[in-house]
Chain A
Amino acid sequence: DIQMTQSPSAMSASVGDRVTITCRASQGISNHLDWLQQKPGKVPKRLIYDVSSLQSGVPSRFSGSGSGTEFTLTISSLQPEDFATYYCLQHNSYPPTFGQGTKVEIK
């Protein structure tokens, strides 16, 4: 199975901060990498698919980049509603696997 390693596991940030979350795959996954957001007690929601394509309705402060085995989710200016746990997901091969999650908390 492809292992997905996110860093950091948790972080504290302030409203307006630029936030970067990294996801590393144990082997190449082409561009089959998504980012999901899960707020406490809520359902996961896809933010970005295929590395950098923004899901409809998702604010443009979210962006994704990367290739091969290293991928990044960036929030350009953190907003109060962005405090949540973020997961990367690879779907290049079965089984699809998620990163362990990055919890973004209020500083």
Chain B
Amino acid sequence: EVHLVESGGGMVQPGGSLRLSCAASGFTFSDHYMDWVRQAPGKGLEWVGRIRNRGNSYSTEYAASVKGRFTISRDDSKNSLYLQMNSLKTEDTAVYYCARSSDNWSDWFDPWGQGTLVTVSS
């Protein structure tokens, strides 16, 4: 069974940093693209960014709202995905989900992890 487990969330002050992790199991992690999606409290879903697989040079894409502040990386040897968040703002407060995708245009965001809450507040 495919399993994604996020960790690393918590409370941080504006301007601070946090690193989220996503541990994957039940599938060949190295084959897949991986995404981060967030959901502010009581709000809708917002894509944060993506990292492609080794065959696509681990290239990344980011939402405009986080570009230059957030960095996505992965360690295929550990079946792990990461989200380094710097210069955090109050509007970054959200539950952050990792989600599996594939290297085709039909297979996006399935499944999702259980999410980890990031609260940015002074």
Contacts and interface: CB of A to CB of B under 8 A. Distances in A.
Contacts of B47: 95-98
A67 B97 CA distance: 29
A70 interface: no
B109 A89 contact: yes
Give the interface SS of chain B, mostly helix, strand, loop or mixed: loop
Give the interface SS of chain A, mostly helix, strand, loop or mixed: loop
A98 B44 contact: yes
Contact of B45 (A53, A55, A94, A98): A98
B108 interface: yes
A55 B106 CA distance: 12
Contact of A44 (B45, B63, B105, B106): B45
A76 interface: no
B111 A89 contact: no
Interface residues of B, number: 20
B91 interface: no
A101 interface: yes
Interface string B93-104: 000010000000
Contacts of A49: 106-108, 110
Interface of A: 1, 32, 34, 36, 43-46, 49-50, 53, 55, 87, 89, 91-92, 94-101
25 contacts: A1-B64, A34-B108, A34-B109, A36-B109, A43-B114, A43-B115, A44-B37, A45-B111, A45-B112, A46-B110, A46-B111, A49-B108, A50-B106, A53-B106, A55-B110, A87-B44, A87-B45, A89-B45, A91-B105, A95-B47, A95-B64, A97-B47, A98-B46, A101-B44, A101-B45
